[in-house]
Protein backbone atom coordinates (compact mmCIF):
# COMPACT_ATOMS: atom_id res chain seq x y z
CA UNK A 1 0.00 0.00 0.00
CA UNK A 2 2.66 2.51 -0.99
CA UNK A 3 1.34 6.02 -1.19
CA UNK A 4 2.48 7.20 -4.60
CA UNK A 5 1.77 10.88 -5.22
CA UNK A 6 1.39 10.18 -8.93
CA UNK A 7 -1.41 7.71 -8.21
CA UNK A 8 -3.18 10.20 -5.95
CA UNK A 9 -3.05 12.99 -8.53
CA UNK A 10 -4.43 10.55 -11.07
CA UNK A 11 -7.18 9.57 -8.62
CA UNK A 12 -8.09 13.21 -8.06
CA UNK A 13 -8.28 13.77 -11.81
CA UNK A 14 -10.40 10.65 -12.33
CA UNK A 15 -12.71 11.53 -9.45
CA UNK A 16 -13.27 15.06 -10.74
CA UNK A 17 -14.56 13.51 -13.97
CA UNK A 18 -17.55 12.36 -11.90
CA UNK A 19 -18.54 15.93 -11.01
CA UNK A 20 -21.96 15.21 -12.53
CA UNK A 21 -22.44 12.66 -9.73
CA UNK A 22 -20.79 14.55 -6.85
CA UNK A 23 -22.59 17.91 -7.18
CA UNK A 24 -26.23 16.67 -7.23
CA UNK A 25 -25.44 14.03 -4.58
CA UNK A 26 -23.96 16.75 -2.34
CA UNK A 27 -27.03 18.96 -2.68
CA UNK A 28 -29.33 16.00 -2.08
CA UNK A 29 -27.32 14.99 0.98
CA UNK A 30 -27.64 18.44 2.55
CA UNK A 31 -31.42 18.38 2.07
CA UNK A 32 -31.73 14.83 3.40
CA UNK A 33 -29.54 15.58 6.41
CA UNK A 34 -31.62 18.63 7.27
CA UNK A 35 -34.86 16.62 7.40
CA UNK A 36 -35.18 14.99 10.86
CA UNK A 37 -35.52 11.21 10.68
CA UNK A 38 -34.10 10.89 7.17
CA UNK A 39 -30.54 9.68 6.74
CA UNK A 40 -27.98 8.82 4.11
CA UNK A 41 -28.80 5.12 4.55
CA UNK A 42 -32.52 5.68 3.85
CA UNK A 43 -31.78 7.80 0.80
CA UNK A 44 -29.27 5.36 -0.68
CA UNK A 45 -31.73 2.49 -0.20
CA UNK A 46 -34.45 4.46 -2.01
CA UNK A 47 -32.03 5.22 -4.86
CA UNK A 48 -30.47 1.75 -4.85
CA UNK A 49 -31.64 0.88 -8.41
CA UNK A 50 -29.89 4.02 -9.69
CA UNK A 51 -26.75 3.23 -7.69
CA UNK A 52 -26.57 -0.32 -9.04
CA UNK A 53 -27.00 0.82 -12.64
CA UNK A 54 -24.20 3.41 -12.92
CA UNK A 55 -21.18 1.20 -12.22
CA UNK A 56 -19.11 0.57 -9.08
CA UNK A 57 -16.88 3.67 -9.25
CA UNK A 58 -19.68 6.15 -9.96
CA UNK A 59 -21.99 4.35 -7.52
CA UNK A 60 -19.43 4.49 -4.72
CA UNK A 61 -18.73 8.19 -5.34
CA UNK A 62 -22.48 8.88 -5.35
CA UNK A 63 -22.98 7.11 -2.00
CA UNK A 64 -19.92 8.75 -0.41
CA UNK A 65 -21.07 12.25 -1.46
CA UNK A 66 -24.55 11.70 0.01
CA UNK A 67 -23.09 10.20 3.19
CA UNK A 68 -20.66 13.08 3.69
CA UNK A 69 -23.05 15.95 2.96
CA UNK A 70 -25.94 14.47 4.97
CA UNK A 71 -23.69 14.31 8.03
CA UNK A 72 -23.05 18.03 7.69
CA UNK A 73 -26.70 18.80 6.89
CA UNK A 74 -27.88 17.10 10.10
CA UNK A 75 -26.37 19.99 12.06
CA UNK A 76 -28.81 22.52 10.53
CA UNK A 77 -31.99 21.57 12.45
CA UNK A 78 -29.92 20.62 15.50
CA UNK A 79 -28.54 24.15 15.74
CA UNK A 80 -31.60 26.15 14.67
CA UNK A 81 -34.55 24.36 16.27
CA UNK A 82 -32.99 21.83 18.66
CA UNK A 83 -33.78 18.83 16.43
CA UNK A 84 -30.92 16.35 16.01
CA UNK A 85 -32.26 14.38 13.06
CA UNK A 86 -29.66 11.63 13.57
CA UNK A 87 -27.94 10.16 16.60
CA UNK A 88 -24.63 11.57 15.39
CA UNK A 89 -25.98 15.11 15.84
CA UNK A 90 -27.44 14.46 19.30
CA UNK A 91 -24.72 16.45 21.10
CA UNK A 92 -24.80 19.38 18.66
CA UNK A 93 -27.83 21.21 20.19
CA UNK A 94 -26.23 21.33 23.64
CA UNK A 95 -24.38 24.52 22.68
CA UNK A 96 -25.64 25.18 19.15
CA UNK A 97 -29.25 25.82 20.11
CA UNK A 98 -28.50 28.24 22.99
CA UNK A 99 -26.56 30.34 20.47
CA UNK A 100 -29.57 30.37 18.14
CA UNK A 101 -31.88 31.46 20.96
CA UNK A 102 -29.56 34.42 21.55
CA UNK A 103 -30.00 35.42 17.92
CA UNK A 104 -26.63 33.98 16.86
CA UNK A 105 -28.02 31.23 14.66
CA UNK A 106 -26.05 32.40 11.64
CA UNK A 107 -22.80 32.34 13.59
CA UNK A 108 -23.65 28.96 15.12
CA UNK A 109 -24.30 27.48 11.67
CA UNK A 110 -21.05 28.95 10.41
CA UNK A 111 -19.14 27.35 13.31
CA UNK A 112 -20.93 24.06 12.71
CA UNK A 113 -20.20 24.03 8.97
CA UNK A 114 -16.60 25.18 9.30
CA UNK A 115 -15.73 22.62 11.97
CA UNK A 116 -17.54 19.90 9.98
CA UNK A 117 -15.67 20.69 6.76
CA UNK A 118 -12.28 21.09 8.45
CA UNK A 119 -12.74 18.01 10.66
CA UNK A 120 -13.98 15.88 7.76
CA UNK A 121 -11.31 17.06 5.35
CA UNK A 122 -8.51 16.59 7.87
CA UNK A 123 -9.54 13.06 8.82
CA UNK A 124 -10.03 12.12 5.16
CA UNK A 125 -6.43 13.15 4.43
CA UNK A 126 -5.22 11.30 7.54
CA UNK A 127 -7.18 8.21 6.51
CA UNK A 128 -5.54 8.24 3.08
CA UNK A 129 -2.08 8.49 4.61
CA UNK A 130 -2.60 6.14 7.57
CA UNK A 131 -4.82 3.42 6.07
CA UNK A 132 -2.26 0.63 6.75
CA UNK A 133 -2.10 1.54 10.44
CA UNK A 134 -5.69 2.63 11.06
CA UNK A 135 -6.91 -0.68 9.63
CA UNK A 136 -5.32 -2.37 12.66
CA UNK A 137 -7.36 -0.40 15.23
CA UNK A 138 -10.35 -2.73 14.92
CA UNK A 139 -8.12 -5.68 15.81
CA UNK A 140 -7.00 -4.13 19.11
CA UNK A 141 -10.32 -2.74 20.38
CA UNK A 142 -12.36 -5.70 21.60
CA UNK A 143 -15.35 -5.93 23.94
CA UNK A 144 -13.41 -4.87 27.07
CA UNK A 145 -11.98 -1.78 25.40
CA UNK A 146 -15.35 -0.87 23.90
CA UNK A 147 -16.97 -1.03 27.34
CA UNK A 148 -14.63 1.70 28.53
CA UNK A 149 -15.25 3.75 25.37
CA UNK A 150 -19.01 3.48 26.05
CA UNK A 151 -18.46 4.64 29.63
CA UNK A 152 -16.64 7.70 28.28
CA UNK A 153 -19.85 8.59 26.45
CA UNK A 154 -22.17 7.76 29.36
CA UNK A 155 -20.03 9.86 31.71
CA UNK A 156 -21.28 12.83 29.70
CA UNK A 157 -24.49 12.48 31.76
CA UNK A 158 -22.59 13.69 34.81
CA UNK A 159 -20.81 16.35 32.75
CA UNK A 160 -23.93 18.02 31.34
CA UNK A 161 -25.83 17.80 34.63
CA UNK A 162 -23.17 19.41 36.81
CA UNK A 163 -25.65 22.06 38.00
CA UNK A 164 -28.00 19.40 39.39
CA UNK A 165 -26.20 16.07 39.57
CA UNK A 166 -29.08 14.17 41.18
CA UNK A 167 -31.56 15.10 38.45
CA UNK A 168 -28.95 14.32 35.82
CA UNK A 169 -28.33 10.85 37.21
CA UNK A 170 -32.08 10.18 37.51
CA UNK A 171 -32.58 11.24 33.88
CA UNK A 172 -29.65 9.10 32.74
CA UNK A 173 -30.88 6.06 34.69
CA UNK A 174 -34.35 6.56 33.21
CA UNK A 175 -32.81 6.60 29.74
CA UNK A 176 -30.85 3.41 30.46
CA UNK A 177 -34.05 1.68 31.60
CA UNK A 178 -35.78 2.69 28.36
CA UNK A 179 -32.77 1.51 26.38
CA UNK A 180 -33.05 -1.99 27.85
CA UNK A 181 -36.63 -2.43 26.63
CA UNK A 182 -36.81 -5.25 24.09
CA UNK A 183 -35.57 -8.81 23.73
CA UNK A 184 -32.33 -9.44 25.64
CA UNK A 185 -29.30 -10.32 23.55
CA UNK A 186 -28.64 -13.74 25.15
CA UNK A 187 -31.98 -15.57 25.49
CA UNK A 188 -34.19 -13.26 23.41
CA UNK A 189 -36.59 -12.87 26.36
CA UNK A 190 -38.71 -9.69 25.98
CA UNK A 191 -38.22 -7.05 28.66
CA UNK A 192 -40.70 -4.23 29.24
CA UNK A 193 -42.34 -4.54 25.82
CA UNK A 194 -45.89 -4.63 27.26
CA UNK A 195 -46.77 -7.14 24.56
CA UNK A 196 -45.90 -4.83 21.63
CA UNK A 197 -44.05 -6.79 18.96
CA UNK A 198 -42.67 -3.51 17.58
CA UNK A 199 -40.57 -3.12 20.74
CA UNK A 200 -38.90 -6.54 20.57
CA UNK A 201 -36.09 -4.99 18.53
CA UNK A 202 -35.48 -2.29 21.19
CA UNK A 203 -37.08 1.15 21.38
CA UNK A 204 -36.71 2.70 17.89
CA UNK A 205 -33.97 5.29 18.11
CA UNK A 206 -35.17 7.90 15.61
CA UNK A 207 -38.68 8.32 17.12
CA UNK A 208 -37.17 8.52 20.61
CA UNK A 209 -34.62 11.09 19.45
CA UNK A 210 -37.00 13.40 17.59
CA UNK A 211 -39.60 13.04 20.32
CA UNK A 212 -37.28 13.98 23.17
CA UNK A 213 -35.74 16.91 21.34
CA UNK A 214 -37.99 18.08 18.51
CA UNK A 215 -41.57 17.50 19.64
CA UNK A 216 -40.89 18.50 23.24
CA UNK A 217 -39.13 21.64 21.98
CA UNK A 218 -42.12 22.41 19.75
CA UNK A 219 -44.36 22.24 22.83
CA UNK A 220 -42.00 24.57 24.68
CA UNK A 221 -41.62 27.21 21.93
CA UNK A 222 -45.39 27.51 21.59
CA UNK A 223 -45.17 29.57 24.78
CA UNK A 224 -42.92 32.07 22.94
CA UNK A 225 -43.55 34.20 19.88
CA UNK A 226 -40.24 33.25 18.24
CA UNK A 227 -37.47 30.68 18.71
CA UNK A 228 -34.90 33.42 19.15
CA UNK A 229 -35.18 36.16 21.74
CA UNK A 230 -37.66 38.89 20.79
CA UNK A 231 -34.88 41.50 20.95
CA UNK A 232 -33.12 40.04 17.88
CA UNK A 233 -36.12 40.30 15.57
CA UNK A 234 -35.12 43.67 14.16
CA UNK A 235 -31.39 43.19 14.62
CA UNK A 236 -29.32 43.87 11.53
CA UNK A 237 -26.98 41.05 12.61
CA UNK A 238 -29.61 38.57 11.48
CA UNK A 239 -29.36 39.92 7.92
CA UNK A 240 -25.61 40.54 7.55
CA UNK A 241 -22.61 38.39 6.68
CA UNK A 242 -20.79 39.44 9.83
CA UNK A 243 -21.95 36.46 11.89
CA UNK A 244 -20.89 34.05 9.14
CA UNK A 245 -17.37 35.46 9.01
CA UNK A 246 -17.25 35.61 12.83
CA UNK A 247 -18.14 31.91 12.97
CA UNK A 248 -15.41 31.00 10.48
CA UNK A 249 -12.90 33.11 12.42
CA UNK A 250 -13.90 31.58 15.78
CA UNK A 251 -13.43 28.07 14.40
CA UNK A 252 -10.09 28.80 12.71
CA UNK A 253 -8.73 30.31 15.92
CA UNK A 254 -9.58 27.01 17.65
CA UNK A 255 -7.92 24.88 14.96
CA UNK A 256 -6.20 22.70 17.57
CA UNK A 257 -9.60 21.88 19.05
CA UNK A 258 -10.88 20.88 15.62
CA UNK A 259 -7.88 18.61 15.06
CA UNK A 260 -7.96 16.56 18.23
CA UNK A 261 -11.75 16.18 18.38
CA UNK A 262 -11.92 15.10 14.72
CA UNK A 263 -9.18 12.53 15.37
CA UNK A 264 -11.39 11.10 18.14
CA UNK A 265 -14.09 10.68 15.50
CA UNK A 266 -11.68 9.04 13.05
CA UNK A 267 -10.46 6.46 15.57
CA UNK A 268 -13.96 5.62 16.82
CA UNK A 269 -15.21 5.48 13.23
CA UNK A 270 -12.75 2.69 12.44
CA UNK A 271 -14.38 0.49 15.10
CA UNK A 272 -17.27 -1.41 13.50
CA UNK A 273 -20.56 -0.67 15.25
CA UNK A 274 -19.33 2.35 17.22
CA UNK A 275 -20.63 5.20 15.08
CA UNK A 276 -21.01 8.98 15.14
CA UNK A 277 -23.18 9.08 18.28
CA UNK A 278 -20.41 7.67 20.47
CA UNK A 279 -17.81 9.89 18.80
CA UNK A 280 -19.79 13.09 19.34
CA UNK A 281 -20.61 12.26 22.98
CA UNK A 282 -17.01 11.28 23.81
CA UNK A 283 -15.59 14.35 22.05
CA UNK A 284 -18.01 16.69 23.84
CA UNK A 285 -17.26 15.11 27.21
CA UNK A 286 -13.49 15.32 26.72
CA UNK A 287 -13.76 18.85 25.36
CA UNK A 288 -15.59 20.04 28.46
CA UNK A 289 -13.45 18.13 30.95
CA UNK A 290 -10.20 19.59 29.64
CA UNK A 291 -11.51 23.07 28.92
CA UNK A 292 -10.34 26.12 30.83
CA UNK A 293 -13.94 27.34 30.93
CA UNK A 294 -16.11 24.23 31.48
CA UNK A 295 -18.85 26.33 33.08
CA UNK A 296 -19.61 27.88 29.68
CA UNK A 297 -20.60 24.55 28.10
CA UNK A 298 -24.33 24.25 27.59
CA UNK A 299 -24.76 28.02 27.37
CA UNK A 300 -23.75 28.47 23.73
CA UNK A 301 -19.98 27.95 23.93
CA UNK A 302 -18.22 27.66 20.52
CA UNK A 303 -16.00 24.78 21.63
CA UNK A 304 -19.08 22.86 22.75
CA UNK A 305 -20.35 23.10 19.16
CA UNK A 306 -17.02 22.45 17.45
CA UNK A 307 -16.33 19.20 19.34
CA UNK A 308 -19.37 17.14 18.28
CA UNK A 309 -19.49 18.51 14.73
CA UNK A 310 -15.82 17.93 13.93
CA UNK A 311 -15.86 14.47 15.56
CA UNK A 312 -19.04 13.17 13.88
CA UNK A 313 -17.64 14.24 10.51
CA UNK A 314 -14.35 12.57 11.40
CA UNK A 315 -16.29 9.31 11.65
CA UNK A 316 -17.24 9.34 7.95
CA UNK A 317 -13.80 8.42 6.63
CA UNK A 318 -13.17 6.02 9.51
CA UNK A 319 -16.21 3.86 8.72
CA UNK A 320 -14.91 3.12 5.21
CA UNK A 321 -11.61 1.63 6.42
CA UNK A 322 -12.91 -1.63 7.96
CA UNK A 323 -15.29 -1.97 5.00
CA UNK A 324 -12.53 -1.88 2.39
CA UNK A 325 -9.83 -3.67 4.42
CA UNK A 326 -11.74 -6.58 5.99
CA UNK A 327 -15.20 -6.29 4.43
CA UNK A 328 -16.85 -5.35 7.75
CA UNK A 329 -19.02 -2.21 7.45
CA UNK A 330 -18.57 0.37 10.19
CA UNK A 331 -22.20 1.52 10.11
CA UNK A 332 -25.57 1.29 8.34
CA UNK A 333 -24.51 3.41 5.35
CA UNK A 334 -21.27 1.47 4.96
CA UNK A 335 -23.28 -1.77 5.04
CA UNK A 336 -25.34 -0.57 2.06
CA UNK A 337 -22.11 0.37 0.28
CA UNK A 338 -20.90 -3.18 0.87
CA UNK A 339 -24.05 -4.56 -0.77
CA UNK A 340 -23.54 -2.36 -3.84
CA UNK A 341 -19.88 -3.32 -4.19
CA UNK A 342 -20.63 -7.02 -3.76
CA UNK A 343 -23.31 -6.72 -6.46
CA UNK A 344 -20.60 -5.51 -8.84
CA UNK A 345 -18.28 -8.37 -7.82
CA UNK A 346 -15.76 -6.28 -5.89
CA UNK A 347 -13.51 -8.30 -3.58
CA UNK A 348 -12.71 -6.64 -0.25
CA UNK A 349 -9.29 -6.85 1.35
CA UNK A 350 -5.89 -5.10 1.43
CA UNK A 351 -5.31 -6.06 -2.22
CA UNK A 352 -8.07 -3.71 -3.38
CA UNK A 353 -5.68 -0.77 -2.99
CA UNK A 354 -3.27 -2.37 -5.44
CA UNK A 355 -5.64 -4.07 -7.89
CA UNK A 356 -8.26 -1.31 -8.06
CA UNK A 357 -7.00 1.99 -6.60
CA UNK A 358 -10.12 3.81 -7.82
CA UNK A 359 -12.26 1.70 -5.49
CA UNK A 360 -9.65 1.54 -2.74
CA UNK A 361 -8.46 5.12 -2.44
CA UNK A 362 -11.17 6.64 -4.64
CA UNK A 363 -13.90 6.89 -1.95
CA UNK A 364 -11.56 8.89 0.30
CA UNK A 365 -10.58 11.20 -2.57
CA UNK A 366 -14.27 11.67 -3.41
CA UNK A 367 -14.99 12.42 0.26
CA UNK A 368 -12.26 15.08 0.35
CA UNK A 369 -13.56 16.71 -2.84
CA UNK A 370 -17.11 16.65 -1.43
CA UNK A 371 -15.98 18.47 1.71
CA UNK A 372 -14.25 21.13 -0.40
CA UNK A 373 -17.43 21.60 -2.47
CA UNK A 374 -19.46 21.77 0.74
CA UNK A 375 -17.22 24.51 2.08
CA UNK A 376 -17.99 26.77 -0.88
CA UNK A 377 -21.60 25.67 -1.28
CA UNK A 378 -22.94 25.76 2.27
CA UNK A 379 -21.30 28.88 3.78
CA UNK A 380 -23.29 31.44 1.73
CA UNK A 381 -26.51 29.71 2.84
CA UNK A 382 -25.99 30.32 6.58
CA UNK A 383 -27.54 33.77 6.26
CA UNK A 384 -30.74 32.34 4.80
CA UNK A 385 -30.98 29.22 6.97
CA UNK A 386 -30.81 31.37 10.10
CA UNK A 387 -33.96 33.26 9.06
CA UNK A 388 -35.90 30.22 10.25
CA UNK A 389 -35.48 31.72 13.73
CA UNK A 390 -37.64 34.69 12.72
CA UNK A 391 -40.66 32.57 11.76
CA UNK A 392 -43.38 32.90 14.43
CA UNK A 393 -43.69 29.78 16.55
CA UNK A 394 -47.41 29.45 15.76
CA UNK A 395 -46.26 28.42 12.26
CA UNK A 396 -42.96 26.70 12.98
CA UNK A 397 -44.14 24.48 15.87
CA UNK A 398 -46.79 22.61 13.81
CA UNK A 399 -44.27 22.24 10.95
CA UNK A 400 -41.70 20.76 13.34
CA UNK A 401 -44.22 18.27 14.69
CA UNK A 402 -45.42 17.22 11.22
CA UNK A 403 -41.92 16.78 9.75
CA UNK A 404 -40.63 14.91 12.77
CA UNK A 405 -43.61 12.54 12.80
CA UNK A 406 -42.97 11.78 9.14
CA UNK A 407 -39.29 11.29 9.96
CA UNK A 408 -40.25 8.90 12.75
CA UNK A 409 -42.28 6.81 10.32
CA UNK A 410 -39.66 6.57 7.56
CA UNK A 411 -36.92 4.28 9.02
CA UNK A 412 -39.19 1.26 9.78
CA UNK A 413 -42.47 2.33 8.12
CA UNK A 414 -44.44 1.50 11.31
CA UNK A 415 -47.32 3.74 12.38
CA UNK A 416 -46.43 2.55 15.89
CA UNK A 417 -43.24 4.64 15.70
CA UNK A 418 -45.31 7.81 15.33
CA UNK A 419 -46.98 7.06 18.67
CA UNK A 420 -43.56 6.38 20.18
CA UNK A 421 -42.36 9.82 19.03
CA UNK A 422 -45.42 11.52 20.56
CA UNK A 423 -44.94 9.69 23.87
CA UNK A 424 -41.28 10.68 23.99
CA UNK A 425 -42.30 14.25 23.11
CA UNK A 426 -44.54 14.33 26.19
CA UNK A 427 -41.75 12.81 28.32
CA UNK A 428 -39.31 15.41 27.00
CA UNK A 429 -41.72 18.26 27.65
CA UNK A 430 -42.27 17.15 31.25
CA UNK A 431 -38.50 16.74 31.71
CA UNK A 432 -37.83 20.26 30.44
CA UNK A 433 -40.50 21.80 32.66
CA UNK A 434 -39.21 19.98 35.76
CA UNK A 435 -35.50 20.64 35.23
CA UNK A 436 -34.37 17.24 33.94
CA UNK A 437 -31.95 17.24 31.00
CA UNK A 438 -33.36 15.46 27.93
CA UNK A 439 -29.84 14.90 26.61
CA UNK A 440 -29.08 12.74 29.66
CA UNK A 441 -32.14 10.61 28.87
CA UNK A 442 -31.08 10.28 25.24
CA UNK A 443 -27.53 9.24 26.15
CA UNK A 444 -28.94 6.38 28.20
CA UNK A 445 -31.30 5.31 25.39
CA UNK A 446 -28.51 5.29 22.78
CA UNK A 447 -25.52 3.95 24.68
CA UNK A 448 -27.23 1.68 27.23
CA UNK A 449 -28.06 -1.21 24.86
CA UNK A 450 -24.62 -0.96 23.21
CA UNK A 451 -22.92 -1.13 26.60
CA UNK A 452 -25.00 -4.20 27.50
CA UNK A 453 -24.05 -5.96 24.27
CA UNK A 454 -20.32 -5.49 24.77
CA UNK A 455 -20.53 -6.33 28.48
CA UNK A 456 -22.37 -9.61 27.88
CA UNK A 457 -20.04 -10.48 25.02
CA UNK A 458 -17.03 -10.00 27.28
CA UNK A 459 -18.59 -12.17 29.99
CA UNK A 460 -19.45 -14.94 27.53
CA UNK A 461 -15.87 -15.02 26.22
CA UNK A 462 -14.47 -15.15 29.78
CA UNK A 463 -17.17 -17.58 30.99
CA UNK A 464 -18.56 -15.10 33.53
CA UNK A 465 -15.24 -13.88 34.96
CA UNK A 466 -15.62 -10.17 35.82
CA UNK A 467 -11.86 -9.74 36.09
CA UNK A 468 -11.77 -9.89 32.30
CA UNK A 469 -12.71 -6.20 32.35
CA UNK A 470 -9.19 -5.54 33.60
CA UNK A 471 -7.34 -8.21 31.64
CA UNK A 472 -6.24 -6.04 28.74
CA UNK A 473 -3.29 -3.65 28.91
CA UNK A 474 -4.98 -1.29 26.43
CA UNK A 475 -8.23 -1.61 28.36
CA UNK A 476 -6.49 -0.79 31.63
CA UNK A 477 -4.92 2.27 30.01
CA UNK A 478 -8.39 3.39 28.93
CA UNK A 479 -9.73 2.76 32.46
CA UNK A 480 -7.03 5.04 33.85
CA UNK A 481 -7.81 7.73 31.28
CA UNK A 482 -11.52 7.47 32.12
CA UNK A 483 -10.86 7.93 35.83
CA UNK A 484 -8.55 10.86 35.14
CA UNK A 485 -11.12 12.55 32.87
CA UNK A 486 -13.80 12.15 35.56
CA UNK A 487 -11.63 13.66 38.30
CA UNK A 488 -10.12 16.49 36.24
CA UNK A 489 -13.13 18.86 36.59
CA UNK A 490 -13.25 18.38 40.37
CA UNK A 491 -9.52 18.92 40.73
CA UNK A 492 -9.67 22.07 38.61
CA UNK A 493 -12.46 23.45 40.79
CA UNK A 494 -10.49 22.57 43.95
CA UNK A 495 -7.32 24.34 42.78
CA UNK A 496 -9.29 27.36 41.59
CA UNK A 497 -10.88 27.65 45.05
CA UNK A 498 -7.43 27.34 46.64
CA UNK A 499 -6.18 30.22 44.50
Written as one string, the DSSP assignment of 249-305 is HHHHHTHHHHHHHHHHHHHHHHSTTTHHHHHHHHHHHHHHHT-S-GGGTTSS-HHHH
Residues of the chain where predicted confidence (pLDDT) is lower than 70: 1-6, 37, 85, 135-139, 158-163, 223-240, 273, 326-331, 389-390, 489-490, 492-493, 496, 499
- Stated as kind and residue range, the H or E segment containing 190 is strand 190-191
So what's the pLDDT on residue 263?
93
With 0.95 as the threshold, say if the pTM is over it.
no
Are 66 and 40 a contacting pair, CB within 8 Å?
yes
Are 21 and 54 a contacting pair, CB within 8 Å?
yes
**Among the listed residues 468, 493, 417, the one whose alpha carbon sits nearest the alpha carbon of residue 147:** 468
**Among the listed residues 7, 12, 430, the one whose alpha carbon sits nearest the alpha carbon of residue 211:** 430
pLDDT digits (tens, 9 = 90+) for 86-139: 778 888 998 998 998 887 888 999 999 999 999 999 999 998 888 777 766 666
Task: Please state the domain count of the chain.
Answer: 1
- DSSP class of residue 204 equals -
So what's the pLDDT on residue 49?
75
Spatial CB neighbours of 491, under 8 Å, sequence gap ≥ 6: none
**CA distance linking residue 213 with residue 189, whole number of Å:** 30
**CA distance linking residue 439 with residue 208, whole number of Å:** 11
Q: Bridge-partner residues for 424, per DSSP? A: none
Are 352 and 324 a contacting pair, CB within 8 Å?
yes
So what's the pLDDT on residue 51?
81
- DSSP class of residue 344 equals T
So what's the pLDDT on residue 237?
46
Are 378 and 113 a contacting pair, CB within 8 Å?
yes
So what's the pLDDT on residue 37?
64
**Among the listed residues 152, 149, 135, 190, the one whose alpha carbon sits nearest the alpha carbon of residue 454:** 149
**CA distance linking residue 95 with residue 412, whole number of Å:** 30
**CA distance linking residue 409 with residue 398, whole number of Å:** 17
User: In which domain, by residue range, is 371 found?
Assistant: 5-498
Amino acid sequence: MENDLGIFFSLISNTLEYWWVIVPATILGIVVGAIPGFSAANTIIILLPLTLSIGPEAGMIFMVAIYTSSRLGAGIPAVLVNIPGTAGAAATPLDGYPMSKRGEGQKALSISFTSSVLGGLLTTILALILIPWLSQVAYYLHSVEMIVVMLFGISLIATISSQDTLKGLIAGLFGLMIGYIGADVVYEIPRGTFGFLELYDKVPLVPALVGLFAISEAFVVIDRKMVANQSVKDSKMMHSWKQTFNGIKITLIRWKHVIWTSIIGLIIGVIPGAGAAIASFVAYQQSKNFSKTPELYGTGHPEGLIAPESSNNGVTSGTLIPLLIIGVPGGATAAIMAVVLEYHGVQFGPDIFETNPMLGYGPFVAMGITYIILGFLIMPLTRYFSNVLLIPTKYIAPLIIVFTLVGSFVPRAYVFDIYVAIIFGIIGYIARKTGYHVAAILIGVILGPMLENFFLRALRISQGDLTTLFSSSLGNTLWILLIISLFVPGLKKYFSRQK
